[in-house]
Amino acid sequence: MQTGSSLYDPTIIEQFAERLYEKARSFVVGSVVVGAALGAAFGAVPLTPLGESWPIPAIFGFATLLVGGIVGAMCGYVIGDTRAFGYRLQAQTALLNLQIERNTFAAAQVGGRPAPSREATPRAVPAPHPAERLQPPPAPPASVRPPAA
C-alpha cells in the first residue's frame, strides 16, 4: 500500500524548478550586494589610518570608495550569474524531464496502448556474440521446405 506522499505528482517538479529559478535570482542579487560591499570596503582604505601608507591621498578616498563599490558589484554580478546559470540549468533539466513524461503519456494514449507501468521497465536484449552473428541461419525442417522444382 502506497502512502499519499509517495505518489507521482508533477506539480512538485514544477515547484522545484520555480524554487531553483528563485534561488538563481537571489544568488545574483546577493553576489552583487556582497561584491559591492567588499569593493567599497577596499576602496575606503584611503579614508582609514591605513591609508597613510598608501600613495593615494585621502582627498580621493570617496572616489576610491565609489569605484571600489562599482568594481566589486561588477565582480559579484559575474560570479553570481555564473553560479545562477547552474541553478537555471537544473531547473530546465527538471522541466525537460517532466515534459518528456507528459509527451510519452500523451503518445501512449493516442496510440491506443495503455501507458507503460512504472514498475515494468523494458530489459535490454543482449547483443549476440560475434561468432553467432557470422553463422548461417539453421535450415527449416523438411515439413516446412518448399518442394524442389
On whether residue 4 sits in a domain, the answer given is: no
On whether residue 42 sits in a domain, the answer given is: yes
On whether residue 68 sits in a domain, the answer given is: yes
Q: Between helices 61-110 and 10-43, what is the axis angle to 10°?
A: 170
Q: What was the pLDDT predicted at 94?
A: 93
- Whole-model pTM above 0.85? no
Using CA atoms, how far apart are residues 106 and 111, in angstroms rounded to an integer? Answer: 9
CB 27 within 8 A of CB 80: yes
Per the structure, the count of domains in the chain is: 1
CB 56 within 8 A of CB 46: yes
On whether residue 137 sits in a domain, the answer given is: no
Give the closest residue to 16 by CA, choosing from 86, 100, 84, 94.
94
On whether residue 134 sits in a domain, the answer given is: no
Give the closest residue to 95 by CA, choosing from 18, 26, 6.
18
Q: What was the pLDDT predicted at 110?
A: 80
Domain carrying residue 60: 21-112
Q: What was the pLDDT predicted at 117?
A: 58
On whether residue 87 sits in a domain, the answer given is: yes
Q: Which regions in the chain score pLDDT beneath 70?
A: 1-5, 50-54, 57-58, 112-149
On whether residue 37 sits in a domain, the answer given is: yes
Q: What was the pLDDT predicted at 105?
A: 86
On whether residue 32 sits in a domain, the answer given is: yes
Q: What was the pLDDT predicted at 70?
A: 95
